[in-house]
């Protein structure tokens, strides 16, 4: 499998990133190089192997559902680039 310039553009839009044509070309080459390397996993027959999601597994972790203090709004919004009182301001979303 190899990645084309159009694939790179599509992945970039899925990831909310934009590139110059030169960057697109460079990432295309590098992604292909890396994907070619990871092909080596196909040397292994994994048809009867289970998936590992987490390296260490525990029994279900339960706790009491108790209300604890959380961050006050002014602290939670401390780093917000544009805000108005208790709200985050963004460009208009609906038409």
Partner 1 sequence: MNLTYSEIRNNLEHGRSTCRTIVENYLSTIESQKKLNAFITVFDREKLLKRADAIDARFKSGKAGRLAGMIVAVKDAIVVKDERSTSGSKILENYISPYNATVIERLENDDAIIIGKTNLDEFAMGSSNENSAYGPALNPIDPTRVPGGSSGGSAVAVAAGLATTALGSETGGSVRLPASFCGVVGLKPTYGRVSRYGLSAFASSFDQIGPIGNNVADTALIASVISGLDAHDTTTANIPVADYFSEIKKNVKGLKIGIPKEYFGQGIQKEVEEAVQQTIKRLVSAGAEPVEISLPHTEYGIATYYILVTAEASSNLARYDGVRYTHRSADSKTINDVFVKSRSEGFGPEVKRRIMLGTYVLSAGYYDAYYKKAQKVRTLIKKDFVDAFSKVDCIVAPTSPTVAFKLGEKTDDPLSMYLSDVYTVNINIAGNPSLSVPCGKNSNNLPIGIQIIAKDFEEAMCFRVAQTIENF
Question: DSSP letters of 32-88?
Answer: HHHHHHHGGGGGS--TT----S-SS--S-------------HHHHTTT-SSEETTEE
The reply on whether position 95 binds partner 1 by CB under 8 A is no
The reply on whether position 67 binds partner 1 by CB under 8 A is no
The residue among 16 and 85 lying less far from partner 1, judged by its C-beta, is 16
The reply on whether position 32 binds partner 1 by CB under 8 A is no
The reply on whether position 42 binds partner 1 by CB under 8 A is yes
Smallest distance from partner 1 to CB 80, Å: 6
CA angle 62, 65, 70 (to 5 degrees): 120
The reply on whether position 31 binds partner 1 by CB under 8 A is yes
């Amino acid at each position: 499998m190899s990645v084309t310039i159009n694939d790179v553009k599509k992945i970039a839009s899925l990831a909310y990133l934009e590139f110059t044509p030169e960057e697109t070309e460079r990432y295309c080459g590098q992604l292909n190089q890396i994907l070619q390397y990871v092909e080596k996993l196909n040397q292994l027959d994994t048809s009867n192997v289970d998936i590992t999601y987490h390296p260490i597994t525990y029994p279900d972790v339960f706790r009491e559902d108790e209300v604890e203090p959380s961050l006050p709004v002014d602290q939670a919004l401390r780093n917000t680039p544009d805000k108005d009182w208790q709200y985050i301001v963004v460009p208009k979303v609906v038409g």
